[in-house]
């Protein structure tokens, strides 16, 4: 682990981690908003990624929505990386109190974190929009449960929707409240793998009033000048605790 970060962590006992797509890219989950993701969406479907995973597109073009979603947002073989494992260790030590994530892959829980606030939901949970029965990822990926690419509820025949916040949909109020509460109580906030440009999540930083604001991101962010420690590097490399 970076020695400057380690010193801050050693002197903290109420850490919150706020993470974005850069945390998952090291597990080979590409950022669909990246230049490569944008090219793929435009080239294959003639539409932007934001349009493809919007609520209105889900409603009006459900078949195409699921075709894109299953090919571009589902990575069942992905495994937690060094950053995920470090955060799980810090929680086990009692240092880390919560993970607030914009990612939808469930890798924080797979690594062992218990308190995870998923601002944008999770691909691992899916529910029928008619009877609200829940289904796991394996169910919706099984073609025998689908009409074309659209997963169908065996109970009522309704469409099964991923429990993911689509564009045009609001974030879950309870999840937001819990995340903001955790951030406002933290003595150290570590922000990693996010450019802090996607709102409302990016605005959560202003609720932090603790001692140490740490930013770990490969590129500069608009908050760099406000941070106590800024590291422009891969988050897995910076947070690596696998040898500890």
Q: What is the chain's pLDDT, residue by residue, as a tens digit (244 residues)?
A: 999 999 999 999 999 999 999 999 999 998 776 666 667 788 889 999 899 999 999 999 999 999 999 998 999 999 999 999 999 999 999 999 999 999 999 999 999 999 999 999 999 999 999 999 999 999 999 999 999 999 999 999 999 999 999 999 999 999 999 999 999 999 999 999 998 877 777 789 999 999 999 999 999 988 899 999 999 999 999 999 986 6
User: Has 226 been annotated as catalytic?
Assistant: no
What is the reported pLDDT for 202? 75
Residue of 120, 145, 209, 226 marked catalytic: 120
The Cβ-side half-sphere exposure at 60, using a 13 Å CA radius, reads 7
Cβ atoms 107, 84 nearer than 8 A: yes
Tokens of 135: 């289904």
Residues whose CB is less than 8 angstroms from the CB of residue 74 and which lie 6 or more positions away in sequence, other chains included: 123, 137, 141
Strand 212-216 relative to strand 188-192, pairing: parallel
In this structure, how many other beta carbons lie within 10 angstroms of the beta carbon of residue 120? 19
Which residue ranges form the domains of the chain, and what is each CATH number?
1-29+80-120+171-244 (3.40.50.1220), 30-72 (no CATH), 123-164 (3.30.1600.10)
Q: Write down the pLDDT at residue 187.
A: 98
């Amino acid at each position: 682990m970076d020695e400057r970060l380690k010193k801050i962590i050693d002197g903290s006992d109420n850490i919150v981690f706020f993470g974005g797509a850069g945390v998952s890219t090291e597990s080979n989950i590409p950022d669909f908003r990246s230049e490569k993701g944008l090219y793929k969406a435009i080239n294959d479907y003639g539409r932007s990624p934001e349009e493809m995973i919007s609520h209105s597109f889900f409603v009006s073009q459900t078949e195409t929505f699921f075709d894109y979603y299953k090919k571009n947002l589902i990575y069942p073989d992905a495994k937690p990386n060094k950053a995920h494992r470090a955060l799980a260790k810090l929680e086990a030590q009692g240092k880390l109190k919560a993970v607030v994530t914009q990612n939808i892959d469930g890798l924080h829980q797979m690594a062992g974190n218990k308190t995870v606030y998923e601002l944008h939901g999770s691909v691992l949970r899916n529910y029928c929009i008619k009877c609200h029965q829940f289904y796991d990822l394996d169910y919706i990926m099984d073609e025998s449960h689908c009409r074309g690419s659209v997963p169908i509820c065996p109970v009522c025949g309704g469409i099964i929707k991923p429990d993911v916040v689509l564009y045009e949909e609001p974030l879950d109020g309870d999840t937001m409240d819990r995340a903001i509460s955790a951030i406002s109580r933290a003595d150290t906030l570590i922000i990693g793998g996010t450019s802090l440009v996607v709102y409302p999540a990016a605005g959560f930083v202003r609720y932090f009033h603790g001692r140490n604001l740490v930013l770990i991101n490969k590129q500069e962010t608009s908050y760099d000048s406000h941070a106590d420690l800024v590291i422009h590097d891969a988050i897995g490399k910076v947070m690596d605790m696998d040898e500890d």
